[in-house]
Structure 1
């Protein structure tokens, strides 16, 4: 037994040396290349022929499965989890966001300087490999991504081989543009995209932001003033073309225009004063704010500052202790009781928690399926259901499968706890 233990230590040390060498090479390509740190690491495993080993194959397969079978969540979302060094695992999440949202993704690994985690944001493509959009820097572990169209997104989290540690993940959204009315007026949005106009003859192609007359109107982005004019509907109007964007911002009903066509402006510059010119002359002073890109689009996600926050995590997601299901427990496809029910497990089914979010555990079932279960629907395995004495020799398998590997042989007469 002592010889076996020493051999395992030598093998483990050899793996750690190889993986340390891999993680320390190719830093220039990470900094200046176009590939993600995750792709670079996978390439290094391949060049070292580690992709043909059992552990290397498991890491690559886990990476692919995280994208092929992600768990669906709604934003904002946060979770706390733990990756064990003995298992090659990856986490995959799928969520949606609106055009104009700024995705804010941050992961905090612990230990911060010794636990290396890859975080990739991708976009699913029908019948194709997901398209890589952005990757977190391996030092600050943050992603900011401006959503260019209403879409679903994939997030993959995966540590390097043989590394263990806990993490906290946060996915939220914010506005991708600055707010166009100065805060001094305590501005309020009083009319939204799609509201009826002219007794239902047309719909509102923008939002109305109300405030005190002559409140400063601000540039919502760096850019150039493409037009300053006056018309019957909008009154005094300004068109602003943000730098490196495919859309134009429209400011209408201004009391005064303080810029000229072709002028370069910066985010937060005052470009006009709030008023009620044009067809708004009988209404309270307000800014009609619109965005155009081959037609009008809803501007609210671009400037909405009132964003919800994720539920506080109320369970320990960093513990790998096994749990068992309570009576009438349900396992769901998302942390929401209105989502699809994956399984109605038998009471005392053993499950493995891999993360926690709000009042939910993200779990793995014995057959490998993943899902969510409410924290009040599980029990600790510290207290066994019963204790039995074996009446014959019994094999102990490494997983619930009679074709699996045999860990040990338990002799007749041994007392065992049934969890």
Structure 2
């Protein structure tokens, strides 16, 4: 069931003229000049156009601005890789927000495609929140440039918001993937050859391993994992023959140890993939098989290199939930849990009664992202829902049920029309102390139970 306007005659005509007036002002202002006092994201530029056109004083314009902030407080938790197909209706103010964890050194790719291609814009904004740190805007875009790629500069949380323009709707597909931000430092090899990881005990646990060990045949080339400058070529007791590489425009240094031969020289500029040494077992690796000790060092010391070079990139789970139900009103077939996370083992935040009504906003894997009648978002297993075409039952309207409401809320609801006492309606579902019903004229709305 899609959102409908039930009022007849003049009210319907006025509402249509109101929407057309907003659309005319809004889309004409796209081609105008906007005075920007500082560089702004596409989302910020669009919001400034709303304000310049005076649309922030309208109900829809102000709701769009409020929604852009409130949706972040209700961001749902996902794991990457993640794929979702969703729908933003043109006749509603919509937005979606997600959060997920990242490790420093991962390269995150966010790709957004949409239908229709024209006259339907979605703004994407990405924030990072380091562990014990402040939220900071990391990247922004729109569906003209549909892919955002960035390196996670710290371990922590990434927050994403999607928000379409007013009065434009359509379907979209969101893909979020993670991979390494550096090239692999051993020629013709990959992360499956890593046999010792960061933090492993060394020398009877008197110290911790400050890198990863990549095993390879003797004198296999060690290569530059990024373009940059060789800042040191020397020898030490632990690492034997070592090379230090400073990647261009980065705040960390790469450490290559246990080399049999150093090929790069101090001060040399290298491109990614250039040979800088040959793998061996010098230093304290004399009794081990040949391998490269690879480390990443910042001003605060060693950090885990795995995310920087891990070539084991997982694909997103295919969507098995039917996308035919996007923007549809559905109901639970029995008791069902609704979740704020797709993370395995998450506990439900709410247990819903059979027949609980909700709107499907997106599909991912075997889940639906849904919106409850009070606007709260969440995830629910798609198998827990069914359509509302077939009524649960038929009832007669009592004296306290004559108001057909637009929402199940005693404070915020408005009357759509009056139902005649004793008339029969079909019950399509429920939420709280309200029932969603349809009368003989196919008008739908909520009545008190």
TM-score w.r.t. length of structure 2:
0.87
In structure 1, the partner of 2:31 is 24
Residue 128 to residue 251, structure 1, CA distance change in 2 (3 Å) = closer
- Cα deviations by residue, 1:62-93 (Å, 9 ceiling, x for unpaired): 10111122111122222111001111111011
In structure 1, the partner of 2:228 is 223
Alignment counterpart, residue 309 of structure 1, candidates 297, 309, 315: 315
In structure 1, the partner of 2:431 is none
| Structure 1 residues not aligned, in runs of 5+ | none
In structure 1, the partner of 2:423 is 414
Give the total of aligned pairs.
417
Contact 2:114 2:143 in 1 (8 A): no
Alignment counterpart, residue 358 of structure 2, candidates 326, 351, 362: 351
Contact 1:101 1:173 in 2 (8 A): yes
For the pair 1:93 / 2:98, whether they are aligned, the reply is: yes
Residue 174 to residue 184, structure 1, CA distance change in 2 (3 Å) = closer
Deviation at 1:123, TM superposition (A): 2.8
- Cα deviations by residue, 1:194-213 (Å, 9 ceiling, x for unpaired): 11111222211100111111
CA distance in 2: counterparts of 1:255 and 1:27, whole angstroms: 61
Contact 2:243 2:255 in 1 (8 A): yes
Contact 1:335 1:373 in 2 (8 A): no
CA distance in 1: counterparts of 2:25 and 2:45, whole angstroms: 15
Structure 1 range deviating more: 256-265 or 405-414: 405-414
In structure 2, the partner of 1:340 is 347
Residue 101 to residue 215, structure 1, CA distance change in 2 (3 Å) = same
Contact 2:131 2:155 in 1 (8 A): no
In structure 2, the partner of 1:324 is 331
1:112-191, aligned counterparts within 5 Å?
A: 112-124=117-129, 130-183=135-188, 188-191=193-196
- How large is the Cα RMSD of the aligned pairs? 2.3
* Secondary structure of 1:313 counterpart: coil
* Secondary structure of 1:66 counterpart: helix
Residue 185 to residue 17, structure 1, CA distance change in 2 (3 Å) = closer
Deviation at 1:340, TM superposition (A): 3.2
1:3-402, aligned counterparts within 5 Å?
A: 3-26=10-33, 34-124=39-129, 130-183=135-188, 188-294=193-299, 295-317=301-323, 319-336=326-343, 338-390=345-397, 394-402=402-410
* Secondary structure of 2:336 counterpart: coil
* Secondary structure of 2:199 counterpart: coil
* Secondary structure of 1:314 counterpart: coil
Contact 1:187 1:210 in 2 (8 A): no
- Cα deviations by residue, 1:4-27 (Å, 9 ceiling, x for unpaired): 554443332222111111233348
In structure 1, the partner of 2:439 is none
